[in-house]
């Protein structure tokens, strides 16, 4: 060998691209991330639906309580209570020329009750209401339960399943979800 010739050590070739195993691991990590995002999206949708139902229920209860506050005499006569078996009665508008205060208060209460029950039935899925009014000299309170059926079938695990203890103790409410409100007039 000559003095000018150098022997170069053989360098390993540099790898270009990725191996099949690296690609599979990357796809696995990406797919797990996408599954997590999908689960988060489903939970978000469920919470949004629950918030929508809760806000609708709150608006319905506030409206009914305001109507009872305006017609305190009708409330004191016990005309704002609603049983689960009650149906919406067709009522005429109260006569503004009615001179008997009790008859006028009862007519306004019947109209308010019919409007409330119609609103609950139309704004909540298969909505129903139970209202227990307790007029007394010291306090005027209403206990209001709003009941509805979830549109899902099969799995009954909803966000409101924990609140089933607040539902009125009626066997017909087994398939219903409910919200409870206590309102002081």
Q: Please provide residue 153's backbone torsions phi and psi, each rounded to the nearest 5 degrees.
A: -120, 160
Q: Is the pLDDT of residue 27 over 60?
A: yes
Q: Is the pLDDT of residue 162 over 70?
A: no
Q: What is the chain's mean pLDDT, rounded?
A: 80
Q: Is the pLDDT of residue 137 over 80?
A: no
| CB-based contacts of 121, cutoff 8 Å, min separation 6 | 88, 127, 128
Distance CA 69, CA 47 (A): 32
Give the pLDDT of residue 13: 67
Our measurement of the distance from residue 90's CA atom to the centroid of its chain's CA atoms, rounded to an integer in Å, reads 28
Percent of the chain with pLDDT strictly greater than 70? 74
Q: Which helix (H) or strand (E) holds 36?
A: helix 20-70
Give the pLDDT of residue 22: 86
For residue range 30-44, list pLDDT tens digits in order: 999 999 998 888 888
Give counts: helices (H), strands (E), the chain. Answer: 3, 3
Angle at 106 between CA 100 and CA 113, to 5 degrees: 155
Q: Is the pLDDT of residue 153 over 50?
A: no
Question: Which of the four pLDDT bands, split at 50, 70 and 90, describes residue 28?
Answer: very high
Q: Is the pLDDT of residue 102 over 90?
A: no
Contact 175, 150 (CB under 8 A): no
């Amino acid at each position: 060998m000559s003095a000018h010739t150098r022997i170069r050590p053989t360098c390993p070739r540099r790898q270009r691209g990725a191996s099949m195993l690296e690609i599979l691991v990357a796809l696995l990590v990406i797919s797990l991330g996408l599954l997590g995002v999908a689960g988060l999206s489903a939970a978000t949708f469920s919470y949004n639906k629950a918030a929508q139902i809760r806000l609708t229920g709150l608006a319905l209860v506030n409206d009914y309580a305001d109507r009872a506050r305006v017609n305190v005499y009708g409330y004191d006569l016990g005309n704002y209570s609603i049983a689960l078996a009650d149906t919406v009665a067709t009522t005429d508008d109260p006569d503004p020329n009615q001179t008997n205060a009790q008859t006028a208060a009862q007519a306004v209460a019947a109209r308010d009750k019919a409007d409330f029950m119609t609103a609950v039935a139309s704004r909540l899925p298969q909505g129903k209401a139970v209202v227990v009014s307790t007029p007394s000299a010291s306090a005027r309170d209403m206990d209001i339960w709003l009941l509805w059926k979830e549109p899902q079938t099969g799995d009954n695990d909803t966000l409101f399943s924990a609140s089933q203890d607040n539902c009125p103790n009626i066997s017909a409410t087994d398939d219903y979800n409910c919200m409870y409100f206590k309102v002081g007039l």
